[in-house]
Structure 1
Amino acid sequence: MFQVLACGAVVFPGLFFAFRRILPCAFRQWSDADVVLVSERLVSSIHAVMATTAGAIVASSCWGNVINDRHWLATYFVIWYGVPYMTYDIFAMYLSHYYRFRVKGHEDYKQHSLRTVNSFVRREFLLVLHHIALLTILLPITLFFRKDQGDFFIGCLFLTELSTPFVSLGKILIQLSLQDCWLHKFNGGMVLFTFFMCRIALFPFMYWMYGRHYGIPLYSVPFHLPLSTNLGNSCILAPQVYWFVLLCRKGYRLYKRSRRPDSSPAAAVTDTSKND
């Protein structure tokens, strides 16, 4: 068990530092901030593919009885790769933040300090809180408090990562100055679609599946569940709705700019960078 956990703890930092070595050889004009950002996004995409695959396997295997059917991946993927990734990702996000402001010439970012860490936490508070909540709330529930029930719903939660590769691809295309190509526009549509389906619509779907199992209508399911379950789902869903609204606003701004005759690639990069 501990050997596998250690393996997961090595995989993601190892991939991150490998990309940091490889990317500067292929893109010599990139700054440290560019390399760290793309490296972080590539590793995020790899983890998202793994999590989505695991979620599809678990959910499809437990479809018949969403309460009592079991699949070993529901628990072990969290231990092997979920915990190591979430821990690593906080560190990677901090590095991306640090190098981004260092390249911009901020005096406080000449070296790592408590001030740079505090600035990162303040600027990315919601993301950091999201990661910490998964580690301190979802992990104990998955491992200790489920009473060996609900593997189907754990698999569904893994599926929330489906939108991550599209989000990462959008960042990488901007980094490559390809924000005006058809692929970036298509990818933007996929971001909105997958984010809505797998991070927002997924929750009423899980409630519907629970109600189907017990033969109760959807509107009665929240009253059938413990208050802690509803609160937990609300805490996970709320930031997803907030981020989806931000994505929609950003997409609308990009659409309006693309309709202007005086829109230019330089303006696109400038506008996008303000909202990343």
Structure 2
Amino acid sequence: MLLTLAWGALFFPGLLALCTWGLRRARPEWTNFDCLMISTRVVSSVQAVLATGSGIVIIRSCRNVITDRHWLSREYVWLVVPYMIYDSCAMYLCEWYRTKDEGRRHTLTIFQNFLRQNRLMITHHAFILFVLVPVAQRFRGDLGDFFVGCIFTAELSTPFVSLGRILIQLKQQHTLLYKVNGVLTLTTFFSCRILLFPFMYWSYGQQQGLSLFQVPFNIPFHCNVANAFLIAPQLYWFSLLCKKAARLFDTPQAKKDG
């Protein structure tokens, strides 16, 4: 545990520093904010690949979705802890550099604006650290590694989301790559963050001889509540992605009508 925590505490900030240094050398005309923003997306993508890969290994290894064990289901959670702390700090650092590049001073107002603009993401990180991590490491006992692996695979959409943000930062919204990436973002997000929950219910049902619709009535109430809390922000973020996609593909027609 301690070794994994220490490794994560060094790896993610170190990768951010390395990427930022490399971008400053390769693109000296870019601002500090541009280099840092793109670097944070790269780090997020790396973490997403690691999480998704871990999740796939766990899922494939657990034939019994209730009792089968895999060491990654617990070990990778300890890597998530320093990542969530790093990511919160990195988001604030991006805001600090953005305001600095605009010529504004670093004041308490900047911190308050950061909290207000990122309240949902900060709440999401806090929920993972103070609720999901204790549940995954202690309260669930020796059961449910399969479901932990499923949750890890939710990160599959993150590299596509990150690439979209990078293309926006580089003002490449008009390119075919941006549109294709938008479709892939919607597809992976819907598959791994929305359909993931019916899949977990279905997998449990297959193990217990229940239909998908019977599962919610045959598991503890708190499991349904926890899944509701997990899927609610995903549905909200997916609606935002759909709105952005609609604006993207409506733009040519709007220009034509104008």
TM band (smaller chain): over 0.9
CA distance in 2, matches of 1:211, 1:28: 56
TM-score normalized by the length of structure 1? 0.89
Contact 2:4 2:75 in 1 (8 A): no
AA partner of residue 42 (structure 2): L
Tell me the secondary structure at the aligned position of residue 218 of structure 1. coil
CA offset digits 1:159-190 (Å, max 9, x no partner) = 00000000111111222232222111110000
CA distance in 1, matches of 2:212, 2:97: 47
Name the structure 1 match of 2:93: 95
1:44-59 equivalences in 2 (<5 Å): 44-59=44-59
1:238-253 equivalences in 2 (<5 Å): 238-253=232-247
> Is 1:202 paired with 2:200?
no
> Is 1:72 paired with 2:66?
no
Name the structure 2 match of 1:27: 27
CA distance in 2, matches of 1:174, 1:116: 23
AA partner of residue 33 (structure 2): A
Tell me the secondary structure at the aligned position of residue 120 of structure 2. helix
1:208-247 equivalences in 2 (<5 Å): 208-247=202-241
- Deviation of 1:144 after TM superposition, in Å, equals 0.4
- Deviation of 1:18 after TM superposition, in Å, equals 1.4
TM-score normalized by the length of structure 2? 0.95
AA partner of residue 5 (structure 2): L
> Is 1:130 paired with 2:127?
no
Q: Considering only aligned residues, what root-mean-square deviation do their CA atoms show, in Å? A: 1.5
- Deviation of 1:261 after TM superposition, in Å, equals 4.2
CA offset digits 1:46-82 (Å, max 9, x no partner) = 00000000000001111x2100111100000111x21
Name the structure 2 match of 1:270: none
- Deviation of 1:262 after TM superposition, in Å, equals 6.9
Name the structure 2 match of 1:185: 179
Tell me the secondary structure at the aligned position of residue 148 of structure 1. coil
Tell me the secondary structure at the aligned position of residue 245 of structure 1. helix
1:35-50 equivalences in 2 (<5 Å): 35-50=35-50
AA partner of residue 207 (structure 1): Y
CA offset digits 1:136-175 (Å, max 9, x no partner) = 1110011101121110100000000000000111111222
Name the structure 1 match of 2:136: 142
CA offset digits 1:111-133 (Å, max 9, x no partner) = 2x443222211111000000000
Name the structure 2 match of 1:274: none
Structure 1 unaligned segments of length 5 or more: list them: 264-276
Name the structure 2 match of 1:8: 8
CA distance in 1, matches of 2:256, 2:114: 36
Name the structure 2 match of 1:116: 110
CA offset digits 1:1-29 (Å, max 9, x no partner) = 32232011100011111112111121222
CA distance in 2, matches of 1:230, 1:104: 46
Tell me the secondary structure at the aligned position of residue 219 of structure 1. coil
CA distance in 2, matches of 1:201, 1:14: 34
CA distance in 2, matches of 1:186, 1:84: 32
Name the structure 2 match of 1:269: none
Structure 2 unaligned segments of length 5 or more: list them: none
Name the structure 2 match of 1:273: none
